[in-house]
Structure 1
Amino acid sequence: MVETPSEFKLKNPPSDGISAIKFGPTSSQFLLVSSWDTTVRLYDIISNNQRMIYSHTDPVLDCCFQDSVHSFSGGIDKTLKMYDFNTQTETVVGTHDRAVKCVEFGADVNVIVTGSWDSTVKLWDPRSPCCAGSFTQPDKVYTLSIAGDKLIVGTAGRRVLVWDLRNMGYVQQRKESSLKYQTRCIRCFPNKQGYVLSSVEGRVAVEYFDQSPEVQKKKYAFKCHRVKENGVESIYPVNAIAFHSQYNTFATGGSDGYVNIWDGFNKKRLCQFHKYPTSIASLAFSNDGSVLAIASSYMFEKGQLDETPEDEIFIRNVSDQETKPKS
């Protein structure tokens, strides 16, 4: 792996599996990283150093920024924590009955949303930090994404639910995933028209919220993250999806170690990067879309290996050529 001007490795990466990477809301300088080594770390990618670190008692499964000085995180210890970068203090906001799998901030409605293996989604008011409601889901929550006031939840059993964060009294849409295998990741289009869903079986589906027949005709699914060697096709989970906020194009990362960039509206792959050392566990575009952070972290798809590849985070400066739809 040669470092190029367009790509470099972060120093001092986590020492165990990387669960999530997220850019700060307003700059492409700060990256938040949660890990199975029980830490949440804040990196300054411009100076390439670790600025801050705090810990949970158990592996951390997700994290997010609320604003440039507060982060939230949760994991196996069932606890949601808030951390203040300015005062370097942490607050336990609340708990779930089982592991917290997802932590997202809904900026439009100013709410933190957590999804748990206890089959609930909870909303948290970051101003006082406290729980603002708990909502039962059909099964363990594996992934969730927020678009404006819409919340999309993907659970075990391939269920997908669309909620309205301003009125959680009922589910707006419930459906079964159009993919045959377990849901791995869901991310919303920045233009809020729909979402992209990936599965453990090398497929991605592009879905639309508008239920009218002409819009529903546009939805489709495609195969990706499959590698043919000696006539045998290996199929890999698609673990990560990240959207470019300006262009509505998206990156996918798979257990094949590849990152692809797609133009979902025109059903085209724009590019594929070189192969990374191991599975792509998480991806994040900066808010201006100029940088893509790539977590290369073995996810035990093939069980225990004699030598587990090191966990690494690559910072890639991406060009319009790689991310902009071809007109």
Structure 2
Amino acid sequence: MADDHNTTTLPSPPFDSISSLHFAPGHPDRLLLSSWDTTVRYYDTSDSAPELKAKFDHRAAVLACTFSDDAHGYSGGLDTSVRELDLTTEKITNLGQHNDSISSMSWSREQSTLITGSWDRTLRFWDPRQPTSAQTSSHGTPERVYHLDLINNTLVVAMASRLFHIYDLRNMSSPTQQRESSLKYMTRSLACMPDGQGYATASTEGRIAVEYFDPSPSAQEKKYAFKCHRQTIDDIDHVWPVNALAFHPVYNTFASAGSDGTVSIWDHKVKKRLRQYPKLTNPVSSIAFNRDGTKLAMGVCYTWDEGETGLKTAQQPVVVIRKLGDEVKPKGWPGN
């Protein structure tokens, strides 16, 4: 599976598609993975001896996971339960429920709060330290929540019907901005810029949009969208969904992963692709940079774009860890 000396394949991958990947906030080698095979897996991704450190079983497919600190993870999915995972003792604590599947979650360091989004059209906030009920608040949304991400106190929520809400976590009474997607098709992925200026979003139809929070006309003039993850084969245009986006924590460049089996690095400031990595054997469903930006994790698995037919020829899921070099730096970055 490894295409060169810069990649490592993790042992004991899940048996079904990979739904999300997250590296620990403090440890550059620790990774959480959620899967449709009803598990969350906790890995050490070190180059010398990568290993599966723990596996947490759930009652149904797990769609989302995240860390709060290096010792605690969280997960949720089709069984509607929000779980805390003690990565040291492997104990699972049920924090509470949504009324429908949990599609996305993120930990707010500023608020010391877990935020979950669901198809039940709510955002819910959780404080795992509370002795009785961990849920601290619930906020209705006009549509099913597909994705959420946050930077500092700004929360971006992508919903069905191509709706976006932007919130200030310090006042959740109503969104600070309500937007419609710049892309014509369903939102497949969302990621906030580490510099706090905006976010990128991508669709099922091979396009990425770069957006800015500042509502002023001058800032909004900078937003743009572009085509990607598409190829002409025998005069036929093939277009693949962009399944995942992730920003580099240091350089503010971002990676995109598609059902074409490729991962690309983009410098959105100059609107250029910096690198496309060698094509993988399956679609890439999810990606994550580690805390210092020296590694990129890639979940390589069947993503059901071709229904039952494609499943017959799909390879088994794998998790590939790529060591990163200067290709993730913007041109002109000091030391480049």
- Taking structure 2 as the reference length, what is the TM-score of the superposition? 0.95
Provide the residue aligned with 2:158 in structure 1: 154
Alignment of 1:13-162 (within 5 A): 13-46=13-46, 47-128=49-130, 130-162=134-166
Corresponding position: 1:5 with 2:5: yes
Work out the CA distance in 2 between the residues paired with 1:211 and 1:19: 32
Of the three residues 276, 280, 299, the one matched with 1:276 is 280
Provide the residue aligned with 1:297 in structure 2: 301
Letter in 1 for 2:54: M
* Deviation string, structure 1 residues 35-77 (Cα, Å, up to 9, x no partner): 0110001001112110011111000001001100000000000
Contact 1:58 1:76 in 2 (8 A): yes
Work out the CA distance in 1 between the residues paired with 2:247 and 2:314: 29
User: 1:214 aligns to what SS in structure 2?
Assistant: helix
* Deviation string, structure 1 residues 253-276 (Cα, Å, up to 9, x no partner): 001111000011111100000001
Work out the CA distance in 2 between the residues paired with 1:81 and 1:188: 24
Provide the residue aligned with 2:322 in structure 1: 316
Contact 1:154 1:161 in 2 (8 A): yes
* Deviation string, structure 1 residues 75-117 (Cα, Å, up to 9, x no partner): 0000000011222211100100000000111112211110001
Shift of 1:162: 0.2
* Deviation string, structure 1 residues 121-146 (Cα, Å, up to 9, x no partner): 11111322711111111111111101
Provide the residue aligned with 1:196 in structure 2: 200
Work out the CA distance in 1 between the residues paired with 2:91 and 2:264: 38
Contact 2:34 2:41 in 1 (8 A): yes
Letter in 2 for 1:36: W
Contact 2:2 2:9 in 1 (8 A): no
Letter in 2 for 1:252: S
Distance 1:266 1:309, change over 3 A: same
Contact 1:260 1:269 in 2 (8 A): yes
User: 1:215 aligns to what SS in structure 2?
Assistant: helix
User: 2:307 aligns to what SS in structure 1?
Assistant: coil
Work out the CA distance in 2 between the residues paired with 1:109 and 1:263: 30
User: 2:261 aligns to what SS in structure 1?
Assistant: coil
Shift of 1:214: 1.1
| Aligned residue pairs, count | 326
Distance 1:12 1:249, change over 3 A: same
Letter in 2 for 1:291: K
Letter in 2 for 1:241: L
Work out the CA distance in 2 between the residues paired with 1:32 and 1:93: 19
Work out the CA distance in 1 between the residues paired with 2:255 and 2:59: 32
Work out the CA distance in 1 between the residues paired with 2:65 and 2:272: 31
Q: RMSD over aligned Cα, in angstroms? A: 1.0
Letter in 2 for 1:314: V
Structure 1 segments unaligned to the other structure (5+ residues): none
Letter in 2 for 1:139: E
Q: Which range moves more in the overlay, 83-92 or 66-75?
A: 83-92
Corresponding position: 1:232 with 2:243: no
Shift of 1:5: 1.7
Shift of 1:3: 4.3
Contact 2:165 2:175 in 1 (8 A): yes
Q: Which range moves more in the overlay, 300-309 or 185-194?
A: 300-309
User: 1:77 aligns to what SS in structure 2?
Assistant: coil
Of the three residues 261, 266, 270, the one matched with 1:262 is 266
Letter in 1 for 2:114: I
Provide the residue aligned with 1:165 in structure 2: 169
Letter in 1 for 2:11: K
Shift of 1:2: 4.3
Contact 1:3 1:9 in 2 (8 A): no
Alignment of 1:174-213 (within 5 A): 174-213=178-217
Work out the CA distance in 1 between the residues paired with 2:128 and 2:224: 37
Query: Percent same amino acid among aligned pairs?
Result: 43
* Deviation string, structure 1 residues 216-237 (Cα, Å, up to 9, x no partner): 1111000000011011111111
